[in-house]
Homo-oligomer: A and B are copies of this chain.
Amino acid sequence: MNDPVTDRREIRELLENWVIWRDAGHWDRFRTVWHDDGVMMATWFQGTADEFIRVSKEGWDKGVSILHFLGGISIDLAGDRAVSQTKMTISQRGDVDGVPCDIVCTGRFYDFLERRDGRWGLVLRQPIYEKDTLMPVSPTARPELDAALLARFPVGYRHLAYIQTRLGYTVKPDMPGLKGPEVEHLYARGARFLAGGSL
C-alpha cells in the first residue's frame, strides 16, 4: 500500500508527463499515463485515450499546432482514487482568414485518477475552459473574425472553438467554464467519485 505522500508525488509526475510527452509527440510514453479505459474530453474530441492518441497524431502529422502549459496542481486523495485540478493553458496556432494567429485558452484540467495494481492512471480528463483570447503572431496584420461564428460558443473557449471549427472539427458546445451549472455538475461528480461512487 502506498502512503499519501507517494500517491501525490506519483500523480503530480503523471500530470506533468502528460503535457511534456503529448506536446513533444512522444506517443508511446504518453499512452502510459492513461488506464486502458481512460477517457479524454476536449472541445474538438471526446473518446478513449487510444482514440485521442490516434487523432492527436493525425493532427500532428498534418500540422495542427497545440501546446499545453501547467500553472499549479491541487490533489484530493481518497484511497486508490484521486481528483486533481491543474491550472493550464491550451495554446493553438493557426491561420485565421490568412493571418497566423495564436489562441490561448486558460483553464483547469479536472482529472479523475485511480490506482490499479499499484499504478496511478487517468480514468477521465475533463478540462474546465475559463477564458481565451486570439492574437496575431505578428502585429503586422489583423484577421477579420466572423462575429456570428464566435458568438456561437461559450466565453471560456470561443476563440479556440472558432479556429477548430474552421479546421473542420465539430466543437462540443457545452463544456464547463469558471461558473455555471456545467462546472457545478463536474464538482459534484468529482465528490461522488472520491466517495466511492461510479464515474
Chain A: residues with CB nearer than 8 A to chain B?
5, 8-9, 13, 15-17, 19-21, 23-25, 65, 67-74, 85, 87, 89, 91, 93, 101-102, 106, 108, 130-131, 133-140, 142-145, 147, 150, 159, 178-179
**Which residue of chain B has its CB nearest to the CB of A65?**
B131
Q: Nearest-CB distance from A101 to chain B (Å)?
A: 8
Residues from chain B with Cβ under 8 Å of A23 in the complex: 87, 178
Q: Nearest-CB distance from A194 to chain B (Å)?
A: 14
Residues from chain B with Cβ under 8 Å of A67 in the complex: 106, 130-131
Residues from chain B with Cβ under 8 Å of A142 in the complex: 139-140
**A144 to B134 Cα, complex, angstroms:** 19
Q: Nearest-CB distance from A123 to chain B (Å)?
A: 20
Q: Does the CB pair A145–B140 fall under 8 Å?
A: yes
**Contacts A20-B87, A85-B24 hold; do A135 and B130 have CB atoms under 8 A apart?**
no
Q: Does the CB pair A150–B131 fall under 8 Å?
A: no
**A144 to B139 Cα, complex, angstroms:** 8
Q: Which of B19, B102, B137 contacts A71 (CB 8 A)?
A: B19
**Contacts A9-B5, A138-B150, A143-B139 hold; do A72 and B133 have CB atoms under 8 A apart?**
no
Residues from chain B with Cβ under 8 Å of A134 in the complex: 137-139
Q: Does the CB pair A16–B73 fall under 8 Å?
A: yes
**A140 to B150 Cα, complex, angstroms:** 12
**Which residue of chain B has its CB nearest to the CB of A86?**
B20
List 9 other contacts, CB 8 Å, given A5-B9, A69-B89, A69-B106: A15-B72, A17-B74, A24-B178, A91-B106, A101-B139, A102-B133, A133-B135, A135-B139, A138-B145
Residues from chain B with Cβ under 8 Å of A15 in the complex: 72
